Amino acid sequence: MGRVSQESILFKKVLIVSSQETKEGDVLVENGKITKVSPFIKPHASLIIEESGLALFPGIIDTHVHFREPGLEKKETIYSGSKAGVSGGVTSFFEMPNTNPLAVTVATVEAKKKIASETSLSNYNFFIGANKENLEELYKIENVPGIKIFVGSSTGNMLVDTDEHLLPIFQKKSNRLIAIHSEDEAQVRRNADIYKDSNDVKDFLKIRTVEAALSSTKRMVAMALKTHRRLHVCHLTTQEEAEFLAALADRGSVTTEVSPQHLFLWAPDIYDKIGTFAQINPPIREKRHADALWKALKSGVIQSVGTDHAPHRISEKENRFGRAPSGMPGIEHSFSLLLTQAAQGRCNYNDIAKWMCEAPTSVYNIENKGFIKEGYDADLVLVDLQKKKRIERKDIVSKCGWSAFEGWEVTGVPIATFVNGNLVYREGDFFENIKGKEVKIKE
């Protein structure tokens, strides 16, 4: 496609969505910023968008993705992952450090930022990962969403699960967020040894147990409260963890997220249906957990939604249990899956703006994003709330080419995505000449 850059864009008579209200109005964008939000703005822009029945959301911020670059580009790249994201309304992403090489130094994180600056269609930033030797690097680096610690389920040299190595990270006087994959590695390994000869993917739940998740989360929360550090528990999966967090008299600066697959899929049904394609860490559990997580999200015990987009090739996921890798894609359908819940009355559109736009900005201290407010970056997604679409393999944008939600019909479809005031996606077409920018974090 040719250059699609507008010095000014005027959205006329759209439903403007925030966590507080949904109101009809006009939004003016100039030079990448939102400059006016008003019930009426006199038309005077180089591009005027006026189509009835459309809603305007802040761009979705997905704070938990694995784009596999560098080192595993056959699964996904920063380019292909960001492309999948903008097709689903995601205008900013935070990517995890378990690439090859691991992003555990200033140099390796900066190398990923350089790739993104040249190829990403959306805005970006990258976690630095902790290992047992890189304490100084964790605090020397500038402008990252946080430190990712794999207390369990590590990749390469990234397992950090002993007090000897965890405490120095937590005891450092810093406002830098610590994000954790919370499973007790010792328990998981003991269980894995018991089921090492199993061919039944449902035994995965007996390996990565509720107890392994809960004990780890309790331990990490206690450590964070004792050291007064900001802690974010990634992809919460159990009723027990949600109830533990809800019961805390003082949560300090402890936050958490939930992934759509843990809200909308459950055992044993999904394993019977798609087998090892449903295998992820932590696992998809029984329906009682999905129901409890949804309740916790609606009550505010869980703050945000992050996809844990973790693509693998179809040929890899087709392997038998024990050989198939864990992980599934999710970035391009997460927004529509939540919009469908609103269409069905299970939540409302204001909730979605809170969980997918506003909460990520407060959890991670993101500058100038997540809201449709004057002075904020013009990261916006235009949505047809009534449009229905079936998720089909032939339409999937992610390089991995599959989804656990294939065959699902969604109600509510992003039809245009704007990153820093630039149209990057509209109804199946991508405009790729202008790249995203590094997301700025306030510390």
Tell me the two tokens of residue 224: 């964070």
Would you call 203 a catalytic residue per the annotation? no
Burial tier of 199 (Cβ tally within 10 Å: 0-12, 13-18, 19+): exposed
| Residue closest to 8 by CA, chosen among 32, 38, 39 | 32
Q: Give the three-state DSSP class for 209.
A: coil
Q: How far apart are CA 374 and CA 28, in angstroms?
A: 9
Longest CA–CA separation in the chain, Å: 69
> To which residue do tokens 């694995």 refer?
66
CA dihedral 98, 218, 165, 440 (to 10 degrees): 50
Length of the chain: 443
- Beta-carbon contacts of 138 under 8 Å, excluding residues fewer than 6 positions away, are 128, 130, 147, 169, 172, 176
Give the C-alpha distances (Å, rounded to integers) separating 348 from 153, 249, 339, 384. 35, 29, 8, 15
Catalytic site residue from 308, 377, 379, 384: 308
CB 309 within 8 A of CB 81: yes
- The catalytic residues are 308
